[in-house]
Structure 1
Amino acid sequence: MQSKTLTGGQALVRLLANYNVDTVFGIPGVHTLELYRGLPGSGIRHVLTRHEQGAGFMADGYARVSGKPGVCFIITGPGVTNAATAIGQAYADSIPMLVISSVNHTESLGKGWGCLHETQDQRAMTAPITAFSAVALTAEDIPQLIARAYAVFDSERPRPVHISLPLDVLAAPVARDWSHEVVRRPGRGVPSSEVLDQAVAKLKAARRPMIIAGGGALQAAQTLQALSTRLAAPFFSSVAGKGLLPPNAPLNAGATLCIEPGWQLIAEADVVLAVGTEMADTDYWRERLPLNAELLRVDIDPRKFNDFYPCAVALQGDAQQTVAALLARLPEAARDASAAIQTVSTLRQAVKAGHGALQSIHQAILDRVSAELPANAFVSSDMTQLAYTGNYAFSSHAPRSWLHPTGYGTLGYGLPAGIGGKFGAPDRPGLVLVGDGGFLYTAQELATAVEELDSPLVILLWNNDALGQIRDDMIGLDIEPIGVLPRNPDFAALARAFGCTVTQPQNLNELQMDLRAGFSRNGVTLIELKHACALVG
């Protein structure tokens, strides 16, 4: 009954299904045919992207919205190099992603025979931007490597994993069926009682405690809100942590550590508790925060405890469990929060009062977005000026609702990540914020969006006919602007060619109506804001 024997590729697909993978993003190629042999009947949906970078970004967006690892199938060589930017972005932002690629036949590896798609060492290309990159030299290696990948996702700092499968390993019959051998590791645990007691002693003694939380704390929203209330501590988030506290929570200082009012407030703290955040300059827009406080850090990654911000107490463990353990050791009575609440209120007023002319335009647009964005929607944003303002000025109502390529800062992220987010949460409407420059990096993924999506995805294209931020930076440094004023295509015609509904509002009222219509339409809507200054003029 040889016909019933699974190939390595078929067995791998079954194994992924048993790890509850429901979606993979990719483009079939001659080197991945055995993976595609395994897809029919597996229960896994394949999403055809139009570029491997798009596959990686979609897997990233899927993971950020769903909380599950995003998975993509990539061909040998150029598929891997095309996806490397997306892998790097996921690595920088601690996003769980499983990249499955083919590689040339085992006997040819490293020999330079000139095989199709050959690279000198494919694993070495992705090793620096993954938790690990490995080659399965036999079919028996596959379940071990997949188990190791999920150990990273479940128990360590979640980051991408790349597993390369030689063509002969993919095609050869497996000696036994290991496709049901699912191994899940225990969670991340909590610090020792001694360390928890040290942190609690400092929090009790603090006169002006404050909290910073990031993407590693997304499962800890309720406990963090309770801790902020108990301590009367103003609560800051990183961009990845937006939505951890409700917008109207009186102690929610938002993601404002990237602007002057936030810097001024954090400088007043005497104890800062940082939970699941890298505390990177990409979040703060300055080399170093003006911390005058003792720093307590909760993190799964021990390398964070003595880096750019060495801490007084290192609490290695799961964010939700660790914050809950701190709460259990603190006095139950909440402190008087009146002074802290007033401080946060003053901060919020200062943020809006401090807008420059461009940021005021952004705020007017974001206010109309906020008025029409469904309560359960998510926003996927690219590296564009409108999103930079939105990072600190736009309120998110829940975690996993604001996707931004913070750490790596790659252009072209917004659209494919938004598409991936729709597969991670099909019932959630999606909004993409993208500039004209970044949009052209991955505009081809409109084909995937129109082909695959039957629920609302609205793309808000900020078209200023420029690489606006770089132009402004050049002018600010007295550099003659070069290469920042490109000739753009007719974006409306381009989007219609893909099958999108397109609008070009001429004022804020029209924008709001177009947003409302877009979120009520099952399909893809592109709204082009061209020379948006005129909208609020």
Structure 2
Amino acid sequence: MSNIAPLTKGQQLIALLEAYGVDTVFGIPGVHTLELYRGLAASKIKHITPRHEQGAGFMADGYARITAKPGVCFVITGPGLTNIATAMGQALGDSIPMLVISTVNCAGTESQGCLHAMPEQASVIKPLTVASFQLNTHDHVTHTIAQVFAALSDTNGTPLGPVHLQIPLDVIGQLATEEVAKVAKRPNPADNQHSAKVLGQIHDAASIINQHSQIVILAGGGAVNVNQQLQKLANTLNAPVVTTINGRGLMAGHPLSVPASPSLNATRSLLAHADCVIALGTQMGQTDYDMDVNGKFPALKNLIRIDINPSAVNMPRQLGIHCNLLQALTYLTPLLDHKGLSASLGEARARTTRQGAFTELSRAYKQHHTFLSTITSALPETIIVGDSTQPVYGGNCYFEAPAPKTWFNSATGFGTLGYAVPAAIGAALGRRLQYNHHPVVALTGDGGLQFCLAELATAKALELPIIFIVWNNLGYGEIESSMLAEGITPIGVSPKPPKLDALAKAYNIGFAKLSSFTALTKLLKQKANITSPLLLEVNEALILPQIEPQTPF
């Protein structure tokens, strides 16, 4: 007779998460998720407690970007799920894999006034997901979790983004009737067999590419894990590579790199004169390609688009290839023959575009570029996680991050506020798992900071090496500028920020106030080996006039 106590479905779920490689979960325990925590204590999974479920979602987002693993969250029925919905929206907009596991009240109790009651809970949250599942009474946990992780994989031909799994309260504590099955090893994308259709499309793409010489590559966030293959492709074709916001850091420092927004005139001119454009892992969304919403993005000739999102490749006037990028580039590049092209021609096109793009920036955006470059020069191994704040807007227009995954922010896609602080926590935790203890920079405005003040306590509790830089312009500076530009009297754009030195003291974290721009490099170098959080205040009115724009070439 076995002495091993049978597992509940909640405990079995935890065992399966661990088997699938989950090492961290973000969540706030509640009475509706107790059965998840029964199994968690006995596992090797680390639990991170944010101060708000929205923070949990943003932490999972930052963690996923750094580790290339899904960020996993536990939330309670009802308000836990609605609180995390904003973070799910950002992850959906940026194609970030996230698993949100929630409970739900028992079927048949909808009109009984139960705690956390939420009508049609799964239906409410489903539009913010790429897949939604429910574990029912007669479902095998192993089979359900296999479906969940298939939806989270970039090798299965499905778009990446949030996945929701909900478990009724009368199911989560049930004894499991089956043993935990062995989890299949996750396939290496490069080893997967291509379908005959995809192989044919890749050959068609190679044929088109080999007939042209003025080629440009667009590289988005979907390409951050194939930088080596991207460089090989670019070198083979002598093609400039334009990186989107989430693709910044790809091709860093390479003569073919164009770290400039496709919304800028110089970048659009490069694309308009290309006789073939290859788009890799980019949604080609408005916040990258038409920031000013002027509808003047040029028609692209011989557009070849490779993406794991079926909707991205099923568009008219393009050759769309529905495929994992590592698979596609591994097969495509050897089929290309551009040995007769001079490398200097591609490099000259890229250099001309970089110079033109930077020249057309406003003086303020050029100053922001200098500010950002000063940060990365002083902290070359840092990651800058940005909120919707003015230096981030400037960097999104033009800025070369030092490496892939070192520049990302919420001023794109869904466009949330309150992202930088918790997402930086997730990024720092991801780095810690990789035994990388270089500091992470969270760049936020004084307005955005007030969306997530409490997560400073989470950073301190975990003693994470994060420098929280607050660009203080005493309100919503970007919105005020937009109102003035449209002839609108600014209203509601001046929420008074807290005293940041007192705030840092309240959370028991370090504090520094930048009084001169020239002191920034010295200060950051002094903090290059910090082991706990630091709050750094930058007063825009004081510092911006001191910044003399420096050209990046």
Q: Which TM-score bucket, shorter chain as reference?
A: over 0.9
1:48 corresponds to: 49
1:153 and 2:145 are equivalent in the alignment: no
Task: Describe how 1:28-107 pairs up with structure 2 within 5 A.
Answer: 28-107=29-108
Distance 1:25 1:340, change over 3 A: same
Q: CA deviation at 1:219?
A: 2.4
Partner AA of 2:35 in structure 1: E
Distance 1:305 1:42, change over 3 A: same
1:435 and 2:445 are equivalent in the alignment: yes
In 1, Cα distance between equivalents of 2:170 and 2:351? 63
Deviations 1:479-515 (CA, angstroms, capped at 9, x unpaired): 1111111211112211221111110011112222222
| 8 Å Cα contact 1:363/1:393 also seen in 2 | yes
Q: CA deviation at 1:3?
A: 7.8
2:509 corresponds to: 500
| 8 Å Cα contact 1:412/1:440 also seen in 2 | yes
Of the structure 1 ranges 319-328 and 40-49, higher mean CA displacement relative to structure 2 is found in 319-328
2:551 corresponds to: none
1:489 corresponds to: 498
| 8 Å Cα contact 1:106/1:167 also seen in 2 | no
Distance 1:172 1:312, change over 3 A: closer
In 2, Cα distance between equivalents of 1:255 and 1:317? 26
Q: CA deviation at 1:288?
A: 5.3
| 8 Å Cα contact 1:11/1:179 also seen in 2 | no
Of the structure 1 ranges 501-510 and 280-289, higher mean CA displacement relative to structure 2 is found in 280-289
2:245 corresponds to: 239
Distance 1:20 1:292, change over 3 A: closer
Q: 1:519 aligns with which of 516, 525, 528?
A: 528
Secondary structure of 2:82's match?
Answer: helix
| 8 Å Cα contact 1:211/1:235 also seen in 2 | yes
1:359 and 2:365 are equivalent in the alignment: yes
The two structures have a TM-score, normalised by structure 1, of: 0.94
Q: CA deviation at 1:443?
A: 1.4
Q: 1:509 aligns with which of 507, 514, 518?
A: 518
Partner AA of 2:282 in structure 1: T
Secondary structure of 2:270's match?
Answer: helix
Q: Please list every run of 5 or more consecutive structure 2 residues that lacks an aligned counterpart in the other structure.
A: 549-553
1:408 corresponds to: 414
Task: Describe how 1:137-536 pairs up with structure 2 within 5 A.
Answer: 137-138=136-137, 140-154=139-153, 155=156, 156-178=158-180, 180-181=182-183, 184=186, 187=189, 190=194, 192-246=198-252, 248-284=253-289, 285=291, 286=293, 287=295, 289-307=297-315, 310-331=316-337, 333=339, 335-375=341-381, 377-405=382-410, 406-426=412-432, 427=436, 428-454=438-464, 456-531=465-540, 532-536=543-547
In 2, Cα distance between equivalents of 1:527 and 1:139? 54
Secondary structure of 2:249's match?
Answer: coil
| 8 Å Cα contact 1:98/1:161 also seen in 2 | yes
In 1, Cα distance between equivalents of 2:185 and 2:84? 27
Secondary structure of 2:226's match?
Answer: helix
Distance 1:288 1:305, change over 3 A: farther
Secondary structure of 2:448's match?
Answer: helix
Partner AA of 1:250 in structure 2: P
In 2, Cα distance between equivalents of 1:351 and 1:316? 32
2:135 corresponds to: 136
Distance 1:5 1:235, change over 3 A: same
Secondary structure of 1:508's match?
Answer: coil
Secondary structure of 2:364's match?
Answer: helix
Distance 1:33 1:179, change over 3 A: farther
Q: CA deviation at 1:177?
A: 2.8
Q: CA deviation at 1:2?
A: 8.6
Q: CA deviation at 1:107?
A: 4.2
Partner AA of 2:269 in structure 1: Q
Q: CA deviation at 1:181?
A: 4.5
Secondary structure of 2:454's match?
Answer: helix
Distance 1:189 1:354, change over 3 A: farther
| 8 Å Cα contact 1:12/1:179 also seen in 2 | no
Of the structure 1 ranges 311-320 and 62-71, higher mean CA displacement relative to structure 2 is found in 311-320
Q: CA deviation at 1:340?
A: 2.2
Secondary structure of 2:422's match?
Answer: helix
Q: Please list every run of 5 or more consecutive structure 1 residues that lacks an aligned counterpart in the other structure.
A: none
In 2, Cα distance between equivalents of 1:460 and 1:336? 44
Deviations 1:393-451 (CA, angstroms, capped at 9, x unpaired): 32222222212222111111111011001111212421111111111111110010000
Partner AA of 2:344 in structure 1: S
Distance 1:513 1:189, change over 3 A: farther
Root-mean-square deviation (Å): 1.9
Partner AA of 2:127 in structure 1: P
Q: CA deviation at 1:348?
A: 2.0
Q: CA deviation at 1:353?
A: 2.5
Partner AA of 1:46 in structure 2: H
Secondary structure of 1:443's match?
Answer: coil
Secondary structure of 2:374's match?
Answer: helix
In 2, Cα distance between equivalents of 1:253 and 1:465? 34
In 1, Cα distance between equivalents of 2:35 and 2:174? 9
In 2, Cα distance between equivalents of 1:141 and 1:480? 60
Number of residue-to-residue matches in the alignment: 530
Of the structure 1 ranges 334-343 and 220-229, higher mean CA displacement relative to structure 2 is found in 334-343
